[in-house]
Amino acid sequence: QQQVKQSPQSLIVQKGGISIINCAYENTAFDYFPWYQQFPGKGPALLIAIRPDVSEKKEGRFTISFNKSAKQFSLHIMDSQPGDSATYFCAASYNNDMRFGAGTRLTVKP
């Protein structure tokens, strides 16, 4: 059972553009929503995270938008750079249960 659905599967953006990745979850018990960035052959690294009591969180070029009623959240990468090319995973967590989305492979073209 896929508890976190992520789209798109892959994304190509021009340098300087905005990258948008969307996720939807089913379990309303989830109370922590992180985004991870993973480069090939490396472990995931926490990028930014949000809790359901806020609708938006911004850290530098990265912004999470959260819609609790729709059970959806998204990652926006502003001014995308070639160095942002990686696979991004959203996740949803409650206590020790963390479920990952399928991942989005982002390519930022120079």
Partner 1 sequence: GAVVSQHPSWVICKSGTSVKIECRSLDFQATTMFWYRQFPKQSLMLMATSNEGSKATYEQGVEKDKFLINHASLTLSTLTVTSAHPEDSSFYICSARPGTSGINEQFFGPGTRLTVL
Positions touching partner 1 (CB under 8 A) are 31-32, 34, 36, 41-46, 49, 51, 89, 93-96, 98-103, 105
Shortest distance (Å) from residue 79 CB to partner 1? 26
* Sign for the pseudo-dihedral over CA of 108, 92, 6, 89: positive
Closest CA to 12 of 67, 80, 62, 75: 80
For partner 1, give the closer residue by CB, 100 or 108. Answer: 100
Between 69 and 96, name the residue whose CB sits nearer to partner 1: 96
Min dist CB 101 to partner 1, Å, is 7
Q: What is the nearest approach in angstroms of partner 1 to the Cβ of residue 98?
A: 6
Nearer to partner 1, 9 or 110 (CB): 9
Nearer to partner 1, 76 or 99 (CB): 99
Pair type for strands 72-77 and 19-25: antiparallel
Rg (CA), the chain: 13
Nearest Cα to Cα of residue 75 among 56, 94, 92: 56
